[in-house]
Structure 1
Amino acid sequence: MSAAITVVGLGSGNADRLTLGMFKTLQGADRVYVRTLKHPVIDDLRETGIEMKSFDSVYESYDTFPEVYEHIAASLIKLALAGEGEIVYAVPGHPMVAEATVRLLRERCPEQGIALKVLGGESFLDEAFVRLGFDPIEGFQLLDAGGLSSSRLQPQLHTLIGQVYDMFTASEVKLALMEVYPDDYEVIVGHALGVEGQESIQHIPLYELDRVEGYGNLSLVYVPRSDDEQLRRRSFDRLHEIVAVLRSPEGCPWDREQTHQSIRKNLIEETYEVLETIDEDDPDHMQEELGDLLLQIMLHSQMEEEIGTFTVRDVIGSLNDKLIFRHPHVFGDTSAKDAEDALQNWEQMKAEEKLRKGQTASSTSVLDGVPRDLPALMKAYKLQKKAAKVGFDWDDISGVFQKIEEELAELREAVEQGLSPEEQALELGDLLFAACNAARFIQADPEEALSRTNRKFTERFHYIEEQLSARGEDIRKTPVNVMEELWQSAKTSGGRDKA
């Protein structure tokens, strides 16, 4: 006799809903196994003389449900291969709805030469549609309470959350829902829907979800759909929709007229405004400015979407691919014991990407990859770092100091000799470039170092202005020696920044 397993669905809990065919299958089976005896139909089946063995004890042997399901599927396959007659395996509800063991059997039985037959059954969904009173054609999603994340929630859809076994699971569901819905949003908890004498349906505010008694194998949470704009305001889809509307013929005339070039400067300005909030350590302002920066990305992406080259989702997709590819120590089988190892992995994967694109070492420059329009100081720093990686560098910082002194002497000479402003500017550039090398040797970001000095200068100069204003004096008429005294005072006693 060839190995065979027949899977039967026991329905949502009412024995009257079992079909005659399923009942005969159970009654005529050589061996009946059930995933759990904790189902209302079990007692009715026992009264008809059907004997069955359960896998309830397996739940006590493992820490996670996936491990339990793996054990059950492996056990059933082993029993079937033993060749002692057909096995009937009965599961709660419908075998193809939220039944992980059946999924595993469907994947593995063909490989083992086991004939697998799946008979349907009434699922908890059938009762949910009736007892909770909604039509899934309006938009519906079924989610598993285990590992539920807010990213999967769509308020415009009716949402059923199954596998809410206990209060701990209900608490996890509540936390995920609260990231999208207000705390007092009405949700519905259903226990044993359709089971006479056991059914319970409770309408509660979301914050009470983990205070409800009676969670078990037949429990679910229903979140009614809503078109409330406030529930969508934090979603990426809503942002995408708004930007598309702004650029549409019915949208904003100004937004419609913009091109990549016309808003190019906006992208730069918004980036610097974000940097300013970082320097100010102002999270509220940072949130606002990051939104403005994100808008620029959305607008540029929308322009390309309109002509069919790519969409913002393509942008996200390519970024996801890059992040995964360049972090083999996180998503692959390599390792990184510290940040330096992680950076080395990143650079190796960047090189691999270039090879895949046909960019060999002979066809590219060591200096490739430095954006053309970076601020000059930042660009100098990146160029020097790239050159240093191939050995074009001083042995130590003493060589850098000599270079700074050399460039300073050349600048002084250019000024003393009265060379043209352009020639003097070139010498100044050489001096700044050399000073940038010093920053690299002391492991300081020159852009950040100069930004700190700018802030320090601003603070001290404001102090001078405030002191003179308090005296009733005009800074424009104040001798420089007086301002210098106040400058020194700002450094030592009265200024905001005494560094």
Structure 2
Amino acid sequence: MVSIVGLGIDPSDLTEGAKQELLSGKKIIVRAERFAAAVRALGVSFETLDCVYESSRNFDSLHKNLAARVLGAAKERDVVYCVPGSVEEDISAQIVLKKSRGAAVFDSVSKSADAFRRAKIFSCNRAAYSAYDLEKYIRAVLPLCVYDIDCDLVAGDVKLKLCDMLGDETPCFFVKNGKVKKIKLYELDRQKEYDETTALVVDDTPLLKKKRFDFYDLCEVMRRLRAPGGCPWDRAQTHESIRKNMVEEAYELVDAIDSKDDGKIVEEAGDVLMQAVFHAQLGEDRGAFDCADVTSGVCEKLIFRHSHIFGGDNAKNADDALSVWERNKRAEKGQKTTGDSVADVPAGFPALLRAQKVGKRASKAGYDFKDIEEAAEKIGEELSELLQAVKEGDAAHISEETGDLLFSAVNVGRLAGADCEESLHESTKKFVARFLKTESLILQDGKEMQNLAPEELWAYYERAKEQIDADPSR
């Protein structure tokens, strides 16, 4: 049988129940000699696990080894395991509790509670983490206490993690041996001494005084903009009125990606994220859905479609992973036939992109040309039909045949393995560059493009093309 006693921060923190347990004659194990003052004051014999510290490779293995020693001793006789601070904040104690049914707990003042009290922060909603377990702190919940900052290296790791989340200049409280000092977060690893009593406390920061923000702050900003008394323009919007904004922001993000400018990517990705949050807030205002529904939906989708990661499927390479994704996607959407999949391609896609996706999905059912040569023959047929429509002068027929010709060209590109949307984008970019260079050469000669004969204009174009192609920086 195992009992676990939290020793608190000061010997006076030991509860009467804990004292009686320690005086019960059971074997007493203290996590380390430096934590044994309260036990020693009772005049009882005990052993410590300092040797486990010396033989453990890292903090994770330390706690596992500590727990193993306690559980091993408990097989021979009843054991009282004493840990500093609170049982709930000691990882080795938590391991013992999970593996020892019916273990009794005599808790005391936690390291975080003591640090919060000394920093005079008494909020009910607060977070506390061991410095050795801080990777679990993924959302900037404040107030925050980080305890177990027992050396400058650990302090440096904590600083890097929190500076990224909260900002370098965030005001903090440095707590050590009951004393409190105000510091900036970037100063955490510049203090003179650290020991097992060292903790960092960060108070809550009002929204408008924050230097770093997270997703939940974005949701709060949008909520305030849409709330009574908020921004008149934001309050007047609907899903439909800002529909085009999402398309524009998405294209601006693509441009930023193409420019390989990280600053622009950050900005434009933020704008896309803002549009998504805006629509989520509009949904919440209607009582239809909210940000939690949106994030829950996308997480469920990612987990379900990645069954080769989160389930029992296997994928040895990217192609296998894509096949698993597509199969799960069809199952998720209830698509029983290829037709269901073809019809599911969004009508709002750019026409070229939609044409290629429709053709690709149809080809999976065998509805395709036998090879690229057969597809290329279709271009000639459609071009002849377009020219005939032009002769007839029927605008509707011209539009129809133009669409057929473009669709045929997409099929050829698809069968050639090209991304038609990207290919046309690059060709358009190339045309713009050649046009601008042609115009520049004409203007240098004191001429105007619209006054040139076709042959002369073509000659300028060829010169521009040669100069651009010869430019190594192109």
TM-score, scaled relative to structure 2: 0.90
- Change in Cα spacing, 1:224 to 1:259, as seen in structure 2 (3 Å) is closer
Is the Cα contact below 8 Å between 2:167 and 2:211 reproduced in 1?
Answer: no
Deviations 1:178-206 (A, max 9, x none): 1133424343332333xxxxxx5444332
- Change in Cα spacing, 1:260 to 1:375, as seen in structure 2 (3 Å) is same
How many residues align? The count is 472
Pick the aligned partner of 1:7 from 4, 9, 30.
4
Is the Cα contact below 8 Å between 2:30 and 2:83 reproduced in 1?
Answer: yes
**1:253 corresponds to 2:250:** no
- Change in Cα spacing, 1:364 to 1:186, as seen in structure 2 (3 Å) is same
User: 1:147 offset after TM fit, Å?
Assistant: 4.3
**1:143 corresponds to 2:139:** no
Aligned with 1:216: secondary structure? coil
- Change in Cα spacing, 1:215 to 1:325, as seen in structure 2 (3 Å) is farther
Pick the aligned partner of 1:401 from 376, 391, 396.
376
- Change in Cα spacing, 1:128 to 1:263, as seen in structure 2 (3 Å) is closer
- Change in Cα spacing, 1:495 to 1:462, as seen in structure 2 (3 Å) is farther
**1:128 corresponds to 2:115:** yes
Identical amino acids, percent of aligned pairs: 33
What letter matches 1:217 in structure 2?
Answer: E
- Change in Cα spacing, 1:377 to 1:494, as seen in structure 2 (3 Å) is closer
**1:223 corresponds to 2:202:** yes
2:33 aligns with 37
Aligned with 1:321: secondary structure? helix
1:436 aligns with 410
- Change in Cα spacing, 1:497 to 1:482, as seen in structure 2 (3 Å) is farther
In 2, Cα distance between the equivalents of 1:224 and 1:440?
A: 57
Deviations 1:433-462 (A, max 9, x none): 111112112221111111111111111111
Larger RCO (alpha carbons 8 Å, 6+ apart): 1
User: 1:64 offset after TM fit, Å?
Assistant: 4.1
2:467 aligns with 493
**1:338 corresponds to 2:317:** yes
**1:282 corresponds to 2:261:** yes
Deviations 1:66-120 (A, max 9, x none): 44333433443443343x3x32111111223x1123323333333xxxx422112
User: 1:243 offset after TM fit, Å?
Assistant: 1.9
Is the Cα contact below 8 Å between 2:115 and 2:199 reproduced in 1?
Answer: no
User: 1:250 offset after TM fit, Å?
Assistant: 1.5
In 2, Cα distance between the equivalents of 1:126 and 1:411?
A: 79
Is the Cα contact below 8 Å between 2:14 and 2:38 reproduced in 1?
Answer: no
- Change in Cα spacing, 1:383 to 1:255, as seen in structure 2 (3 Å) is same
Unaligned runs of 5+ residues in structure 2 are none
Which shifted more, 220-229 or 165-174?
Answer: 220-229
1:420 aligns with 394
Pairwise mapping of residues 292-441 of structure 1 onto structure 2 (< 5 A)?
292-354=271-333, 359=334, 361=336, 365-415=340-390, 417-418=391-392, 420-441=394-415
**1:87 corresponds to 2:79:** yes
Pick the aligned partner of 2:245 from 266, 272, 296.
266
Pairwise mapping of residues 413-492 of structure 1 onto structure 2 (< 5 A)?
413-415=388-390, 417-418=391-392, 420-492=394-466
1:100 aligns with 91
In 2, Cα distance between the equivalents of 1:496 and 1:238?
A: 51
In 2, Cα distance between the equivalents of 1:457 and 1:471?
A: 21
What letter matches 2:327 in structure 1?
Answer: Q
In 2, Cα distance between the equivalents of 1:334 and 1:170?
A: 42
User: 1:362 offset after TM fit, Å?
Assistant: 5.3
Deviations 1:408-456 (A, max 9, x none): 33334444x5352322332222221111112112221111111111111
2:158 aligns with 173
User: 1:216 offset after TM fit, Å?
Assistant: 3.1
What letter matches 2:177 in structure 1?
Answer: A
In 2, Cα distance between the equivalents of 1:406 and 1:173?
A: 68
In 1, Cα distance between the equivalents of 2:191 and 2:5?
A: 32
1:196 aligns with none
